[in-house]
C-alpha cells in the first residue's frame, strides 16, 4: 500500500519508476522520475493496470511516425485503470480511493470545437503518452475533467481497455447499426472490440476481415458471424455470398490498409456507411465518382471518443455486461516483463495485452 504523510494524502517518497523512451531507436527503459506535483485542477492517480496500444508499439519500435512526433525523455502509455491518491484543491466530484480511467485527449475547452460539443477534434489537443508523459509509471497527474469513474468491483485489467473500447464504440455508433450487416475491416485489438460492440448493439451480421488467423479466430469466438482471411479468399466475393449482391450496410475500416479500403468500397451497399478509424501510411487513390458519389454512400472520419457521450455509452455496455472483455484481453504481464509483452504485440498473436503495474 502507498505510504501517506501526516495529512493522510501525499506520497512520502519523492520518485517513481517509469517506462520511458529516452533514446533514439527501438525499445524503452526504466527511468526514475519525480512523482508529479499536481495542479489545483488535477488529481494524482496510482496506476494499477495499463494496456498496450498500437501507438505504444509505434513508439517502442521507433518507426517513422514516432521519429517525427515523440520527444525524449518521454514516459509512454495512455490506457489505464488507477486509484486516486491525491486531489487538487479545486477538484470536486471525486474522492481519494476512487477507481478511475481517463480520456486521453487533453483539450482546451475554449476553442470553437470544444464549445460546440466537438472536443474530440479540439484544435489544441494534447495526447497523454504521446505529447505529454504517460501512464507506464507508478503515478500520473491528470486533469480532473479527464477522469472517468469506474466500478471498483470490476477487474482492473479490463477497466484499462476502456479508452480503445471508446474508439470502437465511437466508430460503431457513428450511425445506425441495429439490424445492419457489418464488415469490420481489420481486427487488431480495436477492430476486435468493434466486432464485440457491433454485436452488442444489435447488428444482424458481423463479418471480420483480416490477414491474421489468430485474430480472425478470436473474432469468431466473441461472436462474429463470419471471418474472411483476405489473403486466402476474395473478400468481395465472400461478403456478397454471405449478405447478398449489393454488399454490407456498414463498413468499419480499422486496418489503415489503403488497398483493403478501396476494395471495401466495392462491397459496401449503395446508400451505406463507411466509418474510418484506421490511418493509411500513404495516400489512397479512390474513384470518387463511381464508388462514392453514384453509390450515395456516407464516409466518416473517426478520431478519439466523443467527449463525453462515448464514455456514457461505454458505461452502459459494461453495466449491462454485454461485452466479452475477459476474452479480448488475451494476455497479462507484470510490467517488469514489458519486453515480452511488446514482442507479443509485434507478432500480432494476441488481443489486448495488459501490463500490471500497481496494487
pLDDT score at 166? 98
Side-chain-side CA neighbours of 251 within 13 Å: the count stands at: 33
Write out the three cell numbers for 151.
466500478
Quickly state the pLDDT bin for 344 (edges 50, 70, 90): very high
Segment 176-182 mean pLDDT: 98
- In whole angstroms, what is the distance from residue 230 CA to residue 212 CA? 9
Nearest alpha-carbon partner for 317 in 203, 199, 216, 206: 199
pLDDT score at 10? 52
- In whole angstroms, what is the distance from residue 282 CA to residue 302 CA? 18
- In whole angstroms, what is the distance from residue 135 CA to residue 4 CA? 21
* CA angle (348 as vertex; 347, 353 as ends), nearest 5: 100
Nearest alpha-carbon partner for 328 in 201, 223, 253: 223
pTM of the prediction? 0.94
Where in the sequence numbering do the catalytic residues fall? Answer: 55, 58
Going from the N-terminus, what domains does the chain have, and what CATH number goes with each?
15-160+324-356 (3.90.180.10), 167-301 (3.40.50.720)
What lies within 8 Å, CB to CB, of 252 at 6+ separation is: 171, 172, 182, 183, 184, 185, 191, 194, 198, 274, 275, 277
* CA angle (185 as vertex; 182, 188 as ends), nearest 5: 120
Quickly state the pLDDT bin for 281 (edges 50, 70, 90): confident
pLDDT score at 5? 46
End-to-end CA distance of the chain: 7
pLDDT score at 8? 46
pLDDT per residue as tens digits for the range 130-156: 999 999 999 999 999 999 999 999 999
pLDDT score at 7? 44
| Cβ neighbour number for residue 258 with a 10 Å cutoff | 16
pLDDT per residue as tens digits for the range 44-91: 999 999 999 999 999 999 998 899 888 888 999 999 999 999 999 999
Quickly state the pLDDT bin for 282 (edges 50, 70, 90): confident
- In whole angstroms, what is the distance from residue 17 CA to residue 182 CA? 44
Amino acid at each position: 500500500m502507498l505510504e501517506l504523510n501526516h495529512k493522510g494524502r501525499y506520497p512520502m517518497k519523492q520518485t517513481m519508476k517509469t517506462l520511458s523512451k529516452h533514446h533514439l531507436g527501438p525499445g524503452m527503459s526504466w527511468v526514475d522520475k519525480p512523482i508529479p506535483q499536481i495542479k489545483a485542477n488535477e488529481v494524482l492517480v496510482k496506476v494499477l493496470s495499463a494496456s498496450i496500444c498500437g501507438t505504444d508499439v509505434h513508439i517502442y519500435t521507433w518507426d517513422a511516425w514516432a521519429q517525427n512526433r515523440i520527444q525524449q525523455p518521454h514516459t509512454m502509455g495512455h490506457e489505464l485503470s488507477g486509484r486516486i491518491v491525491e486531489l487538487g484543491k479545486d477538484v470536486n466530484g471525486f474522492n481519494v480511493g476512487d477507481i478511475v480511467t481517463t480520456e486521453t485527449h487533453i483539450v482546451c475547452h475554449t476553442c470553437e470545437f470544444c464549445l460546440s460539443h466537438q472536443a474530440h477534434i479540439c484544435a489544441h489537443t494534447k495526447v497523454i503518452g504521446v505529447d505529454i508523459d504517460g501512464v507506464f509509471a507508478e503515478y500520473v497527474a491528470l486533469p480532473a475533467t479527464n477522469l472517468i469513474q469506474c466500478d471498483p468491483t470490476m477487474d482492473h485489467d479490463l477497466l484499462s481497455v476502456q479508452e480503445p473500447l471508446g474508439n470502437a464504440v465511437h466508430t460503431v455508433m457513428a450511425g445506425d447499426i441495429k439490424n445492419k450487416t457489418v464488415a469490420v475491416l481489420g481486427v487488431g485489438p480495436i477492430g476486435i472490440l468493434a466486432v464485440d460492440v457491433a454485436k452488442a448493439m444489435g447488428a444482424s451480421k458481423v463479418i471480420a476481415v483480416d490477414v491474421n488467423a489468430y485474430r480472425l479466430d478470436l473474432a469468431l469466438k466473441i461472436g462474429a458471424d463470419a471471418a474472411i482471411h483476405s489473403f486466402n479468399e476474395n473478400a468481395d466475393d465472400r461478403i456478397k455470398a454471405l449478405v447478398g449482391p449489393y454488399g454490407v450496410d456498414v463498413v468499419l475500416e480499422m486496418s489503415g490498409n489503403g488497398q483493403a479500403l478501396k476494395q471495401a468500397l466495392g462491397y459496401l451497399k449503395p446508400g451505406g456507411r463507411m466509418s474510418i478509424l484506421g490511418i493509411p501510411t500513404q495516400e489512397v487513390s479512390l474513384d470518387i465518382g463511381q464508388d462514392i458519389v453514384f453509390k450515395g454512400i456516407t464516409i466518416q472520419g473517426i478520431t478519439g471518443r466523443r467527449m463525453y457521450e462515448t464514455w456514457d455509452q461505454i458505461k452502459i455496455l459494461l453495466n449491462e455486461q454485454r461485452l466479452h472483455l475477459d476474452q479480448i484481453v488475451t494476455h497479462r504481464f507484470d510490467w517488469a516483463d514489458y519486453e515480452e509483452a511488446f514482442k507479443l504485440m509485434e507478432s500480432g498473436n494476441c488481443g489486448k495485452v495488459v501490463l500490471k503495474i500497481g496494487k
